[in-house]
Amino acid sequence: GAVVSQHPSWVICKSGTSVKIECRSLDFQATTMFWYRQFPKQSLMLMATSNEGSKATYEQGVEKDKFLINHASLTLSTLTVTSAHPEDSSFYICSARAVGQGSNQPQHFGDGTRLSIL
Amino acid sequence: DAKTTQPPSMDCAEGRAANLPCNHSTISGNEYVYWYRQIHSQGPQYIIHGLKNNETNEMASLIITEDRKSSTLILPHATLRDTAVYYCIVRVGPNSGYALNFGKGTSLLVTP
């Protein structure tokens, strides 16, 4: 149980385009989802916390107009990287908090999206 | 959240026990110790967590010292598939809405 699906798993696109990444909780409702970014040989860095039906809370240094987060339902959050540039190339990982599911894990993680901007 | 300190890397022979230490000397009374691991190019995978008692599940054992200032994750019979980065994270309980904050972790290499 408590599976988080992330799509796409990898994407390559040209500089200047916008890329949308989806994060779905498949068998539970997630009132809170988190978005992380991971550069090569580095740890996961929290980008933002997304609560269903409200605006996301961004970590210091993360541009909210660059990384648009939408959490319109209890099973789906999306991250859109707008006007992506090569420096946005990274591994993006989402996680979801399972509430009332009997889970003792604080967060369930997706398998990540590898984004490469040419 | 309390800060954790882990060795950057460790080696372990296949079939032997892997003991991964973690120091968390500033842990608060309501904070749990969580362990996750990340296999290359995948999302983090939950392993185990505990508050003050030792814990065991099908993946690993968690030994927490009596003063709770340090802990050890034990993989009893390491396999090549256990090669990963292991993260020790201290945070309030699972019902909290706060995100997990990942440090640098320990890169465990299991060798044949």
For residue A109, list its beta bridge partners. Answer: A95
Contact B101 A91 (CB under 8 A): no
Q: Beta-carbon neighbour count of residue B55 at 10 Å?
A: 17
Task: Note the pLDDT tens digit of each residue in A50-105.
Answer: 988 888 999 999 999 999 999 888 899 999 999 999 999 999 999 998 766 556 67
Q: How confident is the model at residue B2 (pLDDT cuts 50, 70, 90)?
A: low
The pLDDT score that the predictor gives to residue A27 is 86
What pLDDT was estimated at residue A54?
Answer: 85
Instruction: Look at residue B105 in the predicted model and tell me its pLDDT.
Output: 96
Two tokens at B42?
């995948």
Percentage of chain B lying above the pLDDT 70 cut: 96
pLDDT value of position B98: 80
Which chain B residues are Cβ-neighbours of A103 within 8 angstroms? 94
Cis link prior to A8 (omega < 30° from 0)? yes
Q: What are phi and psi of B81, to 5 degrees?
A: -75, -5
Kindly state the average pLDDT of the residues A29-45. Answer: 93
The 10s digit of each residue's pLDDT in B51-80 is 999 999 999 999 999 999 999 999 999 999
Averaged pLDDT for residues B80-88:
97
How far apart CA B99 and CA A60 sit, in angstroms, is 14
Tens-place pLDDT, residues B5-20: 999 999 999 999 999 9
In B, which residues are within 8 Å of A112 by CB distance? 41-43
DSSP string for residues in A9-21:
SEEEE-TT--EEE
**B108: exposed, middle or buried (Cβ count in 10 Å: 0-12, 13-18, 19+):** buried
The beta-carbon neighbor of A109 closest among B41, B44, B104 is B44
Among A43, A103, A104, beta carbon nearest to B102: A43
- For A36, A73, A95, B8, B87, the CA distances from B46, given in Å and listed in that order, are 16, 25, 12, 19, 10
- Spell out which residues of chain B touch residue A34, defining contact as CB-CB under 8 Å: 99-100
pLDDT at A17: 95
With H, G, I as helix, E, B as strand and everything else as coil, classify residue B9: strand
